[in-house]
Amino acid sequence: MSLSTMGEQEPKEIRVFAPATVANVASGYDVLGFAIDEPGDEVVVRYSDKPGLRITAITGDGGKLPKTVEGNTAGVSAQDLLRHLGKSDVGIEMEIHKKMPFGSGLGSSAASAVAGVYAVNVLLGEPLTKKQLLPFAMTGEASADGAYHADNVGPSLLGGIIVIRSNQELDISELPVPENLWAAVVHPDIEILTKVAREILPAEISISTATQQMGNLGGFICGLYEEDYSLIGRSLHDVIAEPFRQKLIPEFYKAKQEALSHGALGFSISGAGPSVFALCEGEKNAQKVASAIANVFNDNNLTNQIHVSRINQQGVHVVNN
């Protein structure tokens, strides 16, 4: 499909931004996630005279990512959509601009997958809704780490706080977001691979542990609906993954103690780590908590980045060039 054959109203180039996400959210291992304003990934797509999807440029990846469509989460998700729509021969060029670190626990591969499929969908005139794009974004995400869970992809795509009833069926729901709920996210400059973080978890847990986690998950969801910040805080406890993964993050429990003593509602690991997060009531509290966490890492000569954000309720979206 060449530019000369396109309708006059069709856009020649689309640029989209997909936000980073915090997965698990303490009490919801593999079933909870929320989006933050930044960082995130950008993808640019445009029509081309050459048939098929091609990745023509990647920036911000330090040369780590392949330009082959089948080897890149953005390419895989977009190609899966094109195949579904019967448009695999449409000529499309894609650029990927990585603006978040790898192995950060902030859903880097998910953001690329979401941005890729959403950009192509918009370029084609939005034949599918955002929610209908979820399976294609999941295909891209799964190509990166082999895991099939929507706690990063879901919120990056839709925004807000997402609960997943079933990852296999991709049965997800959007939860209410209290008006004054803020996130303080700190990323220490170390890399933890999701595969490694999963391997250190036990294959089985006790009934008492499962019951405790279910109670915390239920309490967290009720706290969101009731805008009960105290209940949200009491429910932000992870008894499944955090006890094992915390050893991968230097001074984790000291950072947690500092966050709570400075007013955080709760504190835990973002996804597989090493990023950590705290939920807070109000921006001022979130800024104070973020600084307290960062100071712990600074005291241990560990450089870090702070991201203080409301819960991003927009998700992936088109941005101006």
Convert 256-269 into a string of H (helix), E (strand) and C (coil).
HHHHHHCCCCEEEE
CA distances from residue 125 to 31, 129, 231 in whole angstroms, order as listed: 31, 11, 43
Based on the residue annotation, tell me whether 283 is a catalytic residue of this protein. Answer: no
Torsion of CA 286, 289, 290, 292, to 10 degrees: 160
Place of tokens 């921006």: 283
Strand, helix or coil for residue 128: coil
Long-range residue pairs from 300-304, CB within 8 A, at least 24 positions apart, any chain: 300/250, 300/251, 302/188, 302/189, 302/190, 302/250, 302/251, 303/188, 303/189, 304/186, 304/187, 304/188, 304/189
Based on the residue annotation, tell me whether 141 is a catalytic residue of this protein. Answer: yes
Which of the following is catalytic: 42, 95, 141, 258?
Answer: 141
Place of tokens 């950072």: 255
* b/e map 113-151, b = 16+ CB within 10 Å: bbbbbbbbbbbbeeebebeebbbbbbbbbbbbbeeebbb
Sign of torsion, CA 95 101 104 106?
Answer: negative
Give the span between the Cα atoms of 28 and 221, in whole angstroms. Answer: 10
Return the bridge partners of 276, or none.
186, 269
Which of the following is catalytic: 21, 73, 139, 194?
Answer: 194
Helix (H) or strand (E) run with residue 195 in it: helix 194-199
Query: By the 8 A CB rule, do 3 and 276 touch?
Result: no
Give the span between the Cα atoms of 115 and 73, in whole angstroms. Answer: 10
Task: Indicate which residues carry an active-site annotation.
Answer: 141, 194
